[in-house]
Amino acid sequence: MDNLLYGEKIAIEDSIIKDTILNIENKEKNLFNKYIYIKNFINNFKGNIDSVFINELDSIKIYILYKLQSKKKQYSLLMKLIDYINYLDDKNKDADFIIFLNKVKNLEKEIDYLNSIL
C-alpha cells in the first residue's frame, strides 16, 4: 500500500512539473507573438512611436537573443556529442546517435524560428 501511495505521489508531482513546463512554453509563445505584433506595429505605423513600445520590444528582443544564443550553444554541444558517439564502439551507439540527431533537428527548427522573428 505504501508503494502505491508513493507512486501516486510521484504521479501527482510529475503532473505538476508537466503542467508547469507547458505553462512556461505557452507564456514563451505568447511573448514571441507579442514581439512579432509590436515589431509589425512599429514598422507599419506612420508617426511618432511611444518609447514604451520601443522599450518593450527591446526587452523582449534581449530575451529572444539570449534564447537564441542558448539554443546555438546546445546545438554546438550536441554536435560534439554526436561526433564523440561516432567514435565509440558500443551496441547502443546507433540508438544514442538517433536520439541526439533528433534533438539536433529540433534545435535547428527552434533556432530557425527564433532567427525568423528577429
Instruction: Report domain extents, the chain.
Output: 2-117
Confirm if 56 and 38 have CB atoms less than 8 A apart.
Answer: yes
pLDDT of residue 90: 65
Please give the angle made by the CA atoms of 62, 34 and 115, to the nearest 5 degrees.
50
Q: Let me know if 71 is exposed, middle or buried by CB neighbors in 10 A (0-12, 13-18, 19+).
A: buried
Sign of CA dihedral 79, 83, 84, 88: positive
pLDDT of residue 1: 47
pLDDT digits (tens, 9 = 90+) for 8-66: 888 888 899 999 999 999 999 999 999 999 999 888 988 888 888 899 999 999 999 99
Q: Which residues of 75-112 are buried (b: 16+ CB within 10 A; e: fewer)?
A: beebeeebeebeeeeeeeeeeeeeebeeebeebeebbe
DSSP annotation of 91 reads T
Give me the mean pLDDT over the 105-114 stretch.
93
Among 51-55, 62-66, 81-85, 105-109, which is the least confidently predicted range? 81-85
H or E element: which one contains 59?
helix 51-87
pLDDT of residue 108: 93
